[in-house]
Structure 1
Amino acid sequence: MWVSNWVEGGIRSFIGSATGGGGGWIWSSVDGKAGWWHEGLVIYGVTAMAGLALAATLVISTRRGSLRSPWSRRIGKHPLTRHQWNNFFTFDGKLRDGGIKFLKKVRTAGVEPSIRPEVWPFLLGVYDLRSSRAERNVIQAQKRKIYEKLRRRCWQLVNHGDENSNGQESSFSGTLDHIVPKESSTPDHVIVEDDENSIADDTESSFSESSIDEEPDSIRISSASTRLGEVDPELTKIASSTGEIPKPPQRDENFTTWQRIMRLDAIRANDEWRNYNPSQAEVSRDNAVKFATCVGLKDYEHLEPCRIYHAARLVAILEAYALHDPEIGYCQGMSDLLSPILAVIEDDHEAFWCFVGFMQKARHNFRLDEVGIRRQLSIVSKIIKSKDSDLYRHLEKLQAEDCFFVYRMVVVVFRRELTFEQTLCLWEVMWADQSAIRARIGKSVWGRIRFRAPPTDDLLLYAIAAAVLQRRKMIIEKYSSMEDILRECNSMAGQLDIWKLLDDAHYLVVNLHDKIE
């Protein structure tokens, strides 16, 4: 290219300009990578100092042509490895520097699949970034008990409903007693006492290593908590002698409705996850059917054993979540968010708490008043308006400036537009941002990170806006209605480059986060 030869031959310093006719060229070095930039690029910051030439501190382009970001090149090659993960911990099991280097690595390089089960609980707030190994062991035991209580409460509600309708005890009771004996004294069948000190006192219990025949994770029994890591005070007062579970007023009907919907959604769930976790795909039909029976799953005869097993796990955890967060309960789409977590996390109680951590933000997607959805669509609209006024004006002409055409992307967090592995990659980068914000790690800490993109609670929305902006030319030139754009968005499934998308999203964060947030 004559342009490249001209620049390389004529400019030997960090900056060279040719401003005649409004055009210009800049030679700069970012993170040790030197190169030339075309006039279409926008100089983000320029510093003038006496006796020195002008220096461009950061250059960003909306059209980078054939240039590849060093961030996107780095992503696919060097995710967080087992060796690096182990080295992040001190001798007592604490993350060094409060987890800052760990989060930097994840948000710029992702996580190696083999260590995701260990890493995700940190990203999702199940464990504090500053916790020690001993503290995590205590938290782990406590959270398992809370999940078991939630599952017990689910059983009580199911049995109560069956007794009212049939005048006799549900057949579930016999199944439950067979799998988890009420008075078992063995560690394989942990039964939680409901006295006031039960959670605090019994912290030495460990995770069961029993087989699926002895105690399937999917039907471990339970009760509730109000927020992540907090035990519902009412449940701790239940007398173990009566075995009674207080019935939430006017919620039986809601729970029955939620159960019906979640069971249908669980049966319809796809099996993309099976290639990711072959061990879960090897479950026998007998064991899969046992799980299904325990959670009241029906009409699953046409499914393979692995899909029956997965559906039963979905139901068990979604039921528990509906009681944990009765304001949200269950809505269609939540199973899409849980399914990838189940593929990564094999213990149900850990998967449940990871899901709770995910839903702390995602729950707003499922509010009946849609306040959370409208807020997020508004942010996507603001990003597009700030970055590309021509595209925004075209959307206004089509009465699509509210960005309703990305509704599905927001609700199920890009799940249906990305492949299974792409979903995991996007989510863990997004969670790393949210984890940094939860830990109150200041923006100054990220000063040396590539492109200086600060963590944001809304990385998903920047990624959605980036996906739309990547198609700006087609939208402006070919589409004449919101329905056309909606079809284009729905056709993105399987067509997106996740690392290019994250690259573009981070560029938008650098440019716009001060205006948008």
Structure 2
Amino acid sequence: MSIFKARVKEFEDALAGPQDVIDLKELRKLAFNGVPDVQSFRALSWKLLLGYLGPRRSSWTTTLAQKRALYKQFIEELVLPPGHSSNGSDADGGGDADKADSGGVGLQDHPLSEGPESAWNTFFNDNEFLLQIDKDVRRLCPDISFFQQPTDYPCEIVVHSKGEHGRRLHERVVPAVLSSANVERKGLGMTKQINMITKRSVENYAAMEEGQEAHWEVVQRILFIYAKLNPGQGYVQGMNEIVGPIYYVMASDPDLSYRAHAEADCFFCFTALMSEIRDFFIKTLDDAEGGIKFMMARLSNMLKSKDLNIYELLKSQELHPQYYSFRWLTLLLSQEFPLPDVLRIWDSVFADEQRFDFLIKICCSMILIQREAILENDFASNVKLLQNYPPIDINVVITHAGSLA
């Protein structure tokens, strides 16, 4: 039996065996070495490792049904324009305008109302962060065509809008305003660090006709709902790079019964992951344990202990960790490697019980592997090297990281 077939058999036994309870310790061990890109192994493993599904298989059907119904409710309450129910009826007609079940908007509310309780006022204010979401998702993973392609499972209550404007989020955005949209981390104005996040060129993905949705449109809705449900954090540039790989995995699931619910499943997996890394995106928590400064300090200390020469050189060049590792850590390396490599890295990161210990080891290995070039380079060349990491076999990096104590 080949090594690959043996690994597939191990995952089959772990995930689809006769036992009702999944051995999460065994699954972590298997996933840490990479999930075979066949069947539903990765999508299912990530759902378990991120805590979206519990280890008891008999509970999955109920859990999934409840979560997916809840997500549909989020769409109806947070995405559809005020005064419209999911069946397309207008709350201003039919004599039911003042009923709570007709979209939650009474006759007292009006599109021109500026009152704090006005659903319409909230609807228009949402456009401030929707501008940035729209801009970011339109350039998601431009090296592959996946996000520009139509999904086979568009959100029916959104795409079949019967000519109504505003159900599809991108319709609310005025493209001419995009260039003036500000980017900010919560509690922080424009910073030098923001420029380090935006690495890829802007792509203008086209929206689909009525009845269809591109994958980026689905991701836009996921991020919009997340921002609405987390007003203390809102949307921060870079979250699109976190949700993208998760959605790709869920929407590529060979099991069509799962793929049909990729949007809802992705939302809850993304939410679970963000609960662990949300401190990276909140300026006021930068210095807290788990904040981004703390994580960068851990990486710097590991580099110092593993190779004092490189550490001292970068220090003498004043090439501070935030010049490169801010993006590495905040976005879980999602912008440093091609998508298939990112998925492989995340297999190990999600499987790591300490979660981000191994992420720091990978980042440290990325520097150590380039030791000779770094020692020869000047400041400008090292900045370019670390901000545009050269192509490499990702298994070399992961194996190196695994050797770090």
TM-score (norm 1): 0.56
State the partner residue of 2:43.
117
| Cα distance in 2 between the residues matched to 1:104 and 1:425 | 14
Offset of residue 305 of structure 1: 4.7
Describe the SS at the equivalent of 1:417: coil
* CA distances 1:27-69 after superposition (whole Å, capped 9, x unpaired): xxxxxxxxxxxxxxxxxxxxxxxxxxxxxxxxxxxxxxxxxxx
1:484 aligns with 2:381: yes
| Cα distance in 1 between the residues matched to 2:400 and 2:105 | 54
Describe the SS at the equivalent of 1:114: coil
Contact 2:138 2:216 (8 Å CA) reproduced: yes
Structure 2, unaligned runs of 5 or more: 92-98, 107-115, 176-202, 252-260
Contact 2:47 2:269 (8 Å CA) reproduced: yes
Task: Specify whether residues 431 and 475 from structure 1 end up closer, same or farther in structure 2 by C-alpha distance, changes over 3 A only.
Answer: same
1:307-386 mapped onto 2 (5 Å cutoff): 309-346=214-251, 347=261, 348-369=263-284, 370-371=286-287, 372-386=291-305
1:471 aligns with 2:370: yes
* CA distances 1:198-227 after superposition (whole Å, capped 9, x unpaired): xxxxxxxxxxxxxxxxxxxxxxxxxxxxxx
Contact 2:11 2:30 (8 Å CA) reproduced: no
Task: Specify whether residues 90 and 181 from structure 1 end up closer, same or farther in structure 2 by C-alpha distance, changes over 3 A only.
Answer: farther
Describe the SS at the equivalent of 1:111: coil
Describe the SS at the equivalent of 2:235: coil
| Cα distance in 1 between the residues matched to 2:396 and 2:222 | 34
State the partner residue of 1:427.
346
| Cα distance in 2 between the residues matched to 1:290 and 1:121 | 30
Describe the SS at the equivalent of 2:69: helix
Contact 1:267 1:308 (8 Å CA) reproduced: no
Task: Specify whether residues 302 and 251 from structure 1 end up closer, same or farther in structure 2 by C-alpha distance, changes over 3 A only.
Answer: closer
Contact 1:266 1:335 (8 Å CA) reproduced: yes
1:270 aligns with 2:141: yes
Contact 2:139 2:204 (8 Å CA) reproduced: no
State the partner residue of 1:294.
167
| Cα distance in 1 between the residues matched to 2:5 and 2:342 | 18
Task: Specify whether residues 504 and 316 from structure 1 end up closer, same or farther in structure 2 by C-alpha distance, changes over 3 A only.
Answer: same
Describe the SS at the equivalent of 1:87: helix
Contact 2:87 2:157 (8 Å CA) reproduced: no
| Cα distance in 2 between the residues matched to 1:427 and 1:421 | 10
Contact 1:283 1:305 (8 Å CA) reproduced: no
Structure 1, unaligned runs of 5 or more: 1-73, 160-168, 183-237, 438-454, 512-517
| Cα distance in 2 between the residues matched to 1:409 and 1:143 | 31
State the partner residue of 2:21.
94
Describe the SS at the equivalent of 2:87: helix
Task: Specify whether residues 150 and 305 from structure 1 end up closer, same or farther in structure 2 by C-alpha distance, changes over 3 A only.
Answer: closer
Task: Specify whether residues 151 and 305 from structure 1 end up closer, same or farther in structure 2 by C-alpha distance, changes over 3 A only.
Answer: closer
- Across the aligned residues of Structure 1 and Structure 2, the Cα RMSD in angstroms comes to 3.9
| Cα distance in 2 between the residues matched to 1:240 and 1:282 | 30
Task: Specify whether residues 103 and 304 from structure 1 end up closer, same or farther in structure 2 by C-alpha distance, changes over 3 A only.
Answer: same
State the partner residue of 2:74.
150
| Cα distance in 2 between the residues matched to 1:304 and 1:244 | 29
Which has the bigger relative contact order, CA under 8 A and spacing at least 6? 2
| Cα distance in 1 between the residues matched to 2:145 and 2:264 | 20
Describe the SS at the equivalent of 1:496: coil
Paired-residue identity, %:
19
Offset of residue 488 of structure 1: 0.8
Offset of residue 271 of structure 1: 4.5
Task: Specify whether residues 240 and 252 from structure 1 end up closer, same or farther in structure 2 by C-alpha distance, changes over 3 A only.
Answer: closer
Match for residue 106 of structure 1 among 4, 16, 31: 31
Which range moved further: 384-393 or 394-403?
394-403
Contact 2:241 2:334 (8 Å CA) reproduced: yes
Task: Specify whether residues 367 and 113 from structure 1 end up closer, same or farther in structure 2 by C-alpha distance, changes over 3 A only.
Answer: farther
Task: Specify whether residues 343 and 290 from structure 1 end up closer, same or farther in structure 2 by C-alpha distance, changes over 3 A only.
Answer: farther
Counterpart amino acid of residue 491 in structure 1: N
Offset of residue 327 of structure 1: 2.1
TM-score (norm 2): 0.71
Which range moved further: 98-107 or 254-263?
254-263
Match for residue 496 of structure 1 among 380, 389, 392: 392
* CA distances 1:52-91 after superposition (whole Å, capped 9, x unpaired): xxxxxxxxxxxxxxxxxxxxxx7xx46852x433322554
Contact 2:341 2:394 (8 Å CA) reproduced: yes
State the partner residue of 2:57.
132
Counterpart amino acid of residue 343 in structure 2: L
Contact 1:80 1:112 (8 Å CA) reproduced: no
State the partner residue of 1:410.
329
Contact 1:126 1:353 (8 Å CA) reproduced: yes
Describe the SS at the equivalent of 1:109: coil
Contact 2:159 2:168 (8 Å CA) reproduced: no
Counterpart amino acid of residue 502 in structure 1: I
Contact 2:319 2:383 (8 Å CA) reproduced: no
| Cα distance in 2 between the residues matched to 1:281 and 1:140 | 20
Q: Would you tell me which structure has more strand in proportion to its own residues?
A: 1
Offset of residue 403 of structure 1: 4.8
